[in-house]
Amino acid sequence: MMVGMASEETRTLKSTTTDTGGPAASDPATSGGGPATRAWTTRLVVVGIVLAALNLRPAITSLGALLEEVRDGLGMSGSVAGLLTSVPPLCFAAFGVMAPRLARRFGPSTVVCAGMLAITAGLLIRPYVGGTAGFLAGSALALMGIAVSNVLMPVIVKRWFPDRVGSMTGLYSMALALGTAAAAAVTVPMTDALGGSWRSGLVVWAGLAAAAVLPWTALARHREAPADPASRAREGERARPELRITRSRTAWALAVFFGLQATAAYITMGWMAQIFRDAGVSASTAGLLLAVTMAVGVPLAFVIPRVATRLPHQGPIVVVLGLCGLAGYAGLYLAPAGGAWAWALLLGIANCAFPLALTMVGMRARTGAGVAQLSAFAQSAGYLISVPGPLLVGVLYQHSGGWGLPIALMAGLMVPQMAVGVLAGRDRTVEDEAAR
């Protein structure tokens, strides 16, 4: 499945160019090597993309499953725990903006390799450095690696698979959802099997991150051209001037859409298990419910990008996902325990706005350089927008003594998410808008 997907992409993807805009030396791409070598490298890229995607959320969802134990173990208040759940989007905003510049200098594969190393190191040290500050620092290191990889994955997909952006984005998103769900589902029982220490339950995920380092190390050292002839023909071009991406209304709409869906996702990953536990659900069942929410995204993350690339306007998908989110939040408010499995399913469908946003990043820019800039802008600005959400939920929960106000906040944010998503889904490119 990973290497034999048929080409099916839309007219928006027919124009393909270089990577992040640099000469051949800026990427694992030069013109050497025969067809067999290129085929081997392409397969290695697919493996690398899948392994990288598997590691982009366990650092977060494994913590969500054990948040109560971590709070007790480190003596955190509700507000500090809210700050902890806000660290992921803050790091993604702060570090993600650096990814295009790093990629131009060192090459995307090298930067992603460094990102996987950072994830491994952060997950290894954060449970054991001692105190809340050390835990936050270790988490920030892992999240820095996630941030640059988040931004560069659409760039690598566009570069190596320009005629299969929907399929490869779907595969990447499916692997990401699988890693997210696995961490949510098995962290609690794995912690119990390892003696009940939350530190052991968190540190084991460093092993998965270490596995992802291997293919990216090979790709960073193996300087081979992408399979697309048009991309290879332009490798010698000098970097074009950067787009004035802030002139594009579509870029802004996509950034806000990305930010609002990220707000919902990180509130869900950070707090949903606690909502169910406070409603009387056991810790293991709450972890499974969170896993169901994440697991729904596994098949849908593969299907939605393929459907989206065949539509001239992605607005209808945005609206359907938003309505599922509103229904899920209503259920959490009215009967959190009684209909828990249904609400977990609906919120899992709503969280598939993430692969849709990634797909629109690839569709709203014509060139690899445009995708790099749009990805960095939309993700960095978007994650910055999402920072207050999880923190505000923690504050509202602590001061109101319940989940009514936090759930009302989550539902209220779904309405503007649908509105800006419809705007971002229009059939146009940021290059055209910026040039006007």
Using one digit for the tens of pLDDT, what is the confidence trace for 204-262?
A: 999 999 999 999 998 887 654 444 444 444 443 344 555 688 888 999 999 999 999 98
Contact 255, 384 (CB under 8 A): no
Tell me which residue has tokens 């569709």: 363
- C-alpha triplet 403, 293, 6: angle, nearest 5°: 150
DSSP 8-state assignment for residue 341: H
Sequence-separated (6 or more) residues with CB below 8 Å from residue 116: 52, 55, 145, 149, 209, 212, 213, 216
DSSP 8-state assignment for residue 6: P
User: How far are the Cα atoms of 131, 254, 272 from residue 44, in angstroms, in the given order?
Assistant: 40, 31, 36
User: How far are the Cα atoms of 61, 237, 272, 275 from residue 407, in angstroms, in the given order?
Assistant: 19, 51, 10, 10
Helix then strand then coil, in percent of the chain rounded to 5, is: 75, 0, 25
For 146-205, give the DSSP string: HHHHHHHHHHHHHHH-TT-HHHHHHHHHHHHHHHHHHHHHHHHHHHHHTTS-HHHHHHTT
pTM (2 decimals)? Answer: 0.71
- Considering only 78-82, 96-100, 403-407, which range has the smallest mean pLDDT? 78-82
**CA 326 – CA 346 distance, rounded (Å):** 9
User: How far are the Cα atoms of 94, 249, 436 from residue 245, in angstroms, in the given order?
Assistant: 18, 9, 12
Give burial (CB, 10 Å; 0-12/13-18/19+) of 412: exposed
Neighbours of 402 (CB within 10 A): 10
Sequence-separated (6 or more) residues with CB below 8 Å from residue 99: 111, 147, 148, 150, 151, 152, 372, 375, 376
**CA 311 – CA 78 distance, rounded (Å):** 44
- In this prediction, residue 412 carries a pLDDT of 94
Contact 433, 249 (CB under 8 A): yes
Q: What is the per-residue pLDDT across 336-372, written as a single tens digit (0 to 9) for each?
A: 988 999 999 999 999 889 889 988 988 888 877 788 7
Where is 266: in which H helix or E strand? helix 249-278
Phi-psi region of 60 (alpha: psi -120 to 50; beta: other; left: phi over 0): alpha
Contact 273, 286 (CB under 8 A): yes
Residue count of the chain: 436
Binned at pLDDT 50, 70 and 90, residue 375 comes out as confident
Q: Largest alpha-carbon pair distance within the chain?
A: 65
Of all residues in the chain, the percent with pLDDT exceeding 70 is 84
Sequence-separated (6 or more) residues with CB below 8 Å from residue 389: 86, 89, 263, 264, 266, 267, 409, 413
Q: What is the per-residue pLDDT across 378-394, written as a single tens digit (0 to 9) for each?
A: 888 888 888 788 778 88
Average pLDDT of span 178-198:
83
- In this prediction, residue 302 carries a pLDDT of 78
Higher per-residue confidence, 34 vs 176: 176
**CA 310 – CA 166 distance, rounded (Å):** 9
Average pLDDT of span 24-41:
55
Binned at pLDDT 50, 70 and 90, residue 405 comes out as very high
Of all residues in the chain, the percent with pLDDT exceeding 90 is 26
Q: What is the per-residue pLDDT across 278-333, written as a single tens digit (0 to 9) for each?
A: 888 887 788 788 878 877 877 887 788 888 888 889 999 999 999 999 999 999 99
pLDDT over threshold 90, residue 198: no
Determine the residue type at 304: I
Lookup: tokens for 170 = 């779907």
- C-alpha triplet 123, 80, 386: angle, nearest 5°: 75
- In this prediction, residue 291 carries a pLDDT of 78
**CA 320 – CA 208 distance, rounded (Å):** 34
